[in-house]
A and B are shown apart, each in its own frame.
Chain A
Amino acid sequence: MTATDSRQATRADSPEPLRQPRVISFSHRLSRWDLKLSPYLYISPFFIMFAIVGLFPIAYTAVISFMDWDLVRNEGTFIGIDQYVWILTQPHFWTALRNTFSIFLLSSVPQLILATFIAAVLDRNIRAKTFWRMSVLVPFVVAPVAVGLIFNAIFADQSGLINTWLEGLGLTAIPWHVEPFWSHVAIATMVNYRWMGYNALILLAAMQAVNRDYYEAATVDGAGPIRQFFAITMPSLKPTLIFVIITSTIGGLQIFDEPRVFDQFGRGGAAQQWLTITLYLYDIGWGQWNFGRAAAMAWILFLLILGIGLINLLVTRGLVRDEGRRGAASRRQIRAQARAAQKQVKEAQR
């Protein structure tokens, strides 16, 4: 910046017969203002929009959560923490919490194992790489609602594909929409379907960043492919895996679309078998039209995400150090990595 300034000064001083000196000094001043103001001008659209549709709503959610909101007057009366107490004493809340965690575990655990496996297969010297990579990503562009409807038909209790197959094999049909566990399996399958290929590609990128010499050395030392996978690939993937876990936790705790369309009523099942936290939030806010409770619910959800994120981060910090130079990260992972990095910088400064 200083270099630029001084050079411009030189340029302004240099004699230019056709121009008036006054004009030059004016443009010089203009250029200085330009230099100072432009950055703020460029970032202002984001920050202005964020203030209106991000910051204000977050703060206002906190305010509303302490209120009994009147929809007609669009005003609230302050009632303290009653809304939070109400939610925490609802059995449905605890059911929703259990369901959310159950669906999350059933989706993320098999998903990550399979995604790692698919990534390892894609990482081999295969023909038509681009074709295979693209094919695993197809589900990613299908809307979650569409995925939900498709799998809802596949998992239909009476006539669904899976139950037809099971009966064809002489087995008993599974009550996908009745038993909580099976409904969670069905919903988790939808999540897995949509995100597996995406995660596989992220892990593939991480695998390709591993120095290939390690594998050659291991091959020479006589290590088989499985040994190599667990001794070289997995340790190098660890940070990426942890970030994928964090991101799928954040996403999983907010799950709404798939359980919403899992039956035609969208209320989480007759006995709340697949009611999730966000589904419950929607029902309180726009089914029962109680904004104060919905706001309190939103803050509880946020605190949950924050808490679990922090736990993840604490676990991560210890594990990330063993491999510094790894870079596989999705958008959310990039964030998480940035956060972890900042934390480390702060630690170091202390």
Chain B
Amino acid sequence: MSTLGTPTPLAIVEESIPNARQRRRGARTTRIRGSRPGFWVYATLGVVFISAVFPLYWSFVIGAGDSTTLRNDFAWIPGQNFIANVTAVMNNEAVNFWPALWNSIYSSFLIAASVVITSTLAGWAFAKLRFRGGPALLVFVVATMAVPQQLGVVPLYILFSELGWTGQIGAIVIPALTSAFGVFWMTQYLRQAVPDELIEAARVDGASMLRTFWTVGVTAARPAAAMLFLFTFVGAWNNFFWPFIVLDRQNPTLPVALSLLQSNYFVDYSVVLAGVILATIPLLLLFVFAGKQLVSGIMAGAVKG
């Protein structure tokens, strides 16, 4: 910093190179702090924004049209048929839309809630309690994250068919009740969020382990738990491979139902895409409310590693 005695060199650089990297953070000279990037930055971001949102908008346009809309050269304005197409999706017997929506909501909720609870417990133990074998077990937890889902599906399918659970939502909830990533996430968070002195103080005051966990641990874990809940919920909602294998067609989740929309020999894209929009709306709503947290979750998870 001291090398920047005079603002002159910077000013020159700024004028001669319009795109000169101007930094928000750590930019401690007034010159740098105040400056804003030029038009092309916003143009780029605009293009990125459009490419992120356009496919969704376009599928709404088609989903609100009739079966000929796709063939029309350039459809840009949504048609009048969205309600009709949505009704067609809802009434399609092959799709079972309402059971699918309900299944998705409650299975994702159960999975996310269970993952948060079990991960917070285990994360607390790994982060703040000392016990024989603890570090080794944590390494084991991390190692399990490398195993692909496909490696377990055949025996799990056999297991659930023996139990008579194939086609039941339980078959997708049970295997997802805990998450190695969740345990690792909470361990990382609690390790730096709770000072050891706080736990000692609670213990000295005569609090039991469970009470210490409840008053100190759970309180401190709340932000990370909310993040974990969001990520697990989105992941469970969007999961396709295992539900597609184990659920039967009468009792699907939304992604499975969506895939069935298209499996008829005649594909009416306006109905298919109306279904896609319909099934995407719940998570888009979630995103509107919690998108900020999702973003900061990704960024926080990234920085903490």
Q: Which A residues have a C-beta under 8 Å from some C-beta of B?
A: 1, 3-4, 7-8, 11, 31, 34-36, 38-40, 42-43, 45-47, 49-50, 53-54, 56-58, 60-61, 64, 74, 118, 121-122, 124-127, 130, 132-147, 149-154, 156, 159-161, 164, 168, 193, 197-198, 201-202, 204-206, 208-209, 211-213, 215-217, 219-220, 222, 224-225, 228-229, 240, 250, 253-254, 256-257, 260-261, 264-266, 278, 281-282, 285-286, 291, 294-295, 298-299, 301-302, 305-306, 309, 327-335, 337-339, 342
Contacts and interface: CB of A to CB of B under 8 A. Distances in A.
Q: Is the interface of B mostly helix, strand, loop or mixed?
A: helix
A217 B3 contact: yes
5 contacts: A124-B37, A137-B287, A150-B55, A220-B3, A291-B154
A134 B222 CA distance: 22
Contact of A329 (B3, B283, B301): B301
B100 to A, nearest CB: 12
B185 to A, nearest CB: 7
A39 B134 contact: yes
A329 B37 contact: no
Nearest to B302: A205
B279 A135 contact: no
B148 A4 contact: no
Given A8-B204, A217-B3, A299-B151, A153 B272 contact: yes
B142 interface: yes
A298 B154 contact: yes
A327 B152 CA distance: 32
A233 to B, nearest CB: 9
State the 3 A-B residue pairs at the shortest beta-carbon distance, nearest first: A212-B26, A329-B305, A57-B152
Contact of B125 (A39, A142, A146, A224): A39
A265 to B, nearest CB: 8
A135 B206 CA distance: 49
A137 B294 contact: yes
Contacts of B25: 208, 212
Nearest to B213: A42
B148 A261 contact: no
B134 A219 contact: no
Given A142-B283, A153-B273, A225-B21, A45 B146 contact: no
